[in-house]
Homo-oligomer: A and B are copies of this chain.
Amino acid sequence: MSGAAHAEDGYELWLRYKPLPAAEQSAMAAHASAIVAPGSSDTVRVAVDELRRGFGGMTGHAPERATGAGAGAILLATPDESPDVAALKLPLGALGKEGFLIRSIAIGGQPVTLVTANSDIGLLYGAFRLLELAEAGQPLDKLDIQSAPKLQLRVLDHWDNLDRTVERGYAGQSIWDWWKLPDWKAPRYTDYARANASIGINGAVLNNVNAQPASLTAPFIAKAAALADVFRPYGIKVYLSPRFSAPIEIGGLKTADPLDPEVKAWWKAKADEIYRAIPDFGGFLVKANSEGQPGPQDYHRTHADGANVLADAVKPHGGIVMYRAFVYSENNAEDRAKQAYSDFKPIDGKFADNVIVQVKNGAIDFQPREPFHPLFGAMPKTPLMMEFQITKEYLGFATHLVYLGPLFQETLESDTYAHGKGSTVAHVLEGKVDPYRLTGMAGVANIGSDRNWSGSVFNQANWYAFGRFAWDPDASAEKIAAEWARMTFTPDPAFVAPAVKMMMGSREAAVDYMTPLGLAHQMGTSHHYGPAPWVSDLARPEWNPTYYSRADASGIGFDRTATGSNAMAQYAPPVARMFANPKTTPETLLLWFHHMPWDTRMASGRTLWADLIAHYDAGVADVGTMRAEWAKLRPYVDADRFAETSVFLSIQQREAQWWRDASIAYFQSVSKRPLPAGVTPPAQTLEYYESLRFPIRPGN
């Protein structure tokens, strides 16, 4: 019934644990007759709770915690905790601190499901994996699975402000109810931790990188500490974003120069204060000298100087600094795509050993498609971590169905050729290309106070996929989509196969209707909602979509070869060579690197002008297909989630059409070319599209 309080409202994410058909319940219950978990930590306790909740939900009967492993029991223990497990002498070395092993074994002749690890957090991860298999309808009688994360830091970056607004947030306000913290630890914080632990996320940066100084004051440290207390059993560390000028703003100093002794002492005292409240505080995430944020360059110091003063402060406590490479300056006329490399490449090796530099997937800013960032593979002496954006700032906000798995995978499997073929971005992150003492991946969270957490049910898949890729950068977007769809909706292949197909095609559809062929940043300035390719009058060149398209009567595209900005040369020679030549540049990135005549003959046989239009049309058509496919899935989906997705697809279709029409109208005004035969003219005039204004919109 619509509006029922306990409808499928998306709150449960992929941890739904719905009752199985009666016929299947006893078979599953036979593999969860009891839970034997001799460990006594809070982490073991929450792992047991989760197994009881999960199997209880699916079978109707929560297994009891027992002391002896009888038939069908789940034995959840490290070798240290259980003589039975120790006696198995399993080779657990490869699991590291966080990995786990799940195996169907016999103890005293009785079948038992063993979940083991070198630490209790590994047990928790194993418990979640076992539940995932059960939810996905896998047989549980012959399990033999082991898995360990390939990256150490698997972190969500919350761009949450202290007033609960969320920068680029499209899922309501911040889930952190700062005002009621530290007293009130809302149950939702626990569910947040459960969801993250279920996909291996082990860190959360609580506040926006565009940081307010107050984030480091005593009241907010106490609030962060309360969240850390909730998250601790789930293996999730809390991090904060400091404002670089905090020594002035809340410290009362005259300077924030990172080499000033008073500034160093201030950061040290501040770190000590934080660690008194949060003994396992993770450390800092820093945005400095970027988009108006203060930073070390204000004092003619390098980013390494800036990072190291913070790193020195947290180092005695075991903390780290994640220092963002997303820098570009209002005074720098260089191609924006080149600036991060130009700033950071020269200081490779200058960072303290507890600093990791956080690099966006591409050199501009989370576009529907970008080539991989040239810093990957170019910093052999400085650990780099990936920064993906899970929230869809440039990809349709909450209501476009765009599964980001393919975007993540495309970036991660890109080959940097740093040390020859096979030097993929994934391998760079994993420290296989250059040995990194720290490894990690960050995702800008799409989580808010909306009941469904992420603004739409399908946006949950992006949170899920981020966690999976952070655990294994070599993972498959398609397999992840299937996993997610099975748990979130139903394991029925009649649903899963078409749903996965729809998800897998959705990102290319968005690229096609927004920014095909390597175009970028054609969105409405500042809010990034909808098309505005005509905008050219903003103060800074790189704020203008025309800066990126460079469309004129002769052609379209940004020449980043030697005849242009030469950004191409920031890549390793084999990659640079590929991008230097339009013939060897993938068409998907053509206009990123080349300014091409409108008449260029494309692989399709069409001219560039016609091909560009064909891409817009294909994007719109794809959304239509998605809508039609979704309509067929009604029998498999509850009414509320079906309706939400249907309505959002209708919004997406309307906005895809708007993107297509406005873009064609603008580029036609520049190319002065007729529409190819058979192409439908834009529904409105260019002036109409230019006149649209969105003064009230989310995420700013």
Contact = CB atoms under 8 A, between A and B. Distances in A.
A191 B5 CA distance: 8
17 contacts: A1-B49, A1-B53, A2-B190, A3-B194, A5-B11, A6-B6, A162-B696, A163-B696, A172-B172, A172-B173, A173-B173, A178-B696, A179-B398, A183-B399, A183-B647, A187-B640, A214-B695
Interface in A189-246: 190-191, 194, 212, 214
Interface in A1-46: 1-7, 9, 11-12
A642 interface: no
Contacts of A190: 2-3
Contacts of A170: 179
A450 B184 CA distance: 14
A399 B450 CA distance: 21
Interface in A155-193: 162-164, 170, 172-173, 177-180, 183-184, 187-188, 190-191
A648 interface: yes
Nearest to A49: B1
A4 B178 CA distance: 22
Contact of A7 (B1, B187, B696): B187
A480 to B, nearest CB: 23
Nearest to A7: B187
A490 interface: no
Q: Which of A183, A184, A650 has the most CB atoms of chain B within a 10 A radius of its CB?
A: A184
A698 interface: yes
A672 interface: no
A172 B164 CA distance: 9
A451 interface: yes
A227 to B, nearest CB: 14
B11 A697 contact: no
A183 B644 CA distance: 10
Q: Enumerate the 7 nearest inter-chain pairs by beta-carbon distance, A residue then B residue, closest first.
A: A3-B190, A5-B12, A162-B696, A3-B187, A184-B647, A173-B173, A3-B191
Contacts of A172: 164, 172-173, 177, 449
A449 B397 CA distance: 19
State the copy count for this chain.
Answer: 2
Interface in A378-429: 397-399
Given A5-B191, A188-B451, 15 more contacts: A1-B49, A3-B187, A3-B194, A6-B6, A172-B173, A179-B698, A183-B647, A183-B650, A183-B651, A184-B399, A184-B647, A184-B651, A214-B695, A214-B696, A451-B451
A659 to B, nearest CB: 17
Contact of A180 (B49, B162, B398, B696): B398
A696 B187 CA distance: 23
Contacts of A162: 696
B696 A4 contact: no
Contacts of A183: 399, 647-648, 650-651
Q: Which of A4, A178, A450 has the most CB atoms of chain B within a 10 A radius of its CB?
A: A4
Given A5-B191, A184-B648, A179 B697 contact: yes
A187 B53 contact: no
A61 to B, nearest CB: 15
A695 B184 CA distance: 20
Nearest to A193: B3
A684 to B, nearest CB: 16
Nearest to A695: B214
Q: Which of A170, A180, A214 has the most CB atoms of chain B within a 10 A radius of its CB?
A: A180
Contacts of A397: 179
Q: Which of A163, A178, A640 has the most CB atoms of chain B within a 10 A radius of its CB?
A: A163
Contacts of A9: 187
A6 B214 CA distance: 35
A53 B696 contact: no
A644 B449 contact: no
A24 to B, nearest CB: 22
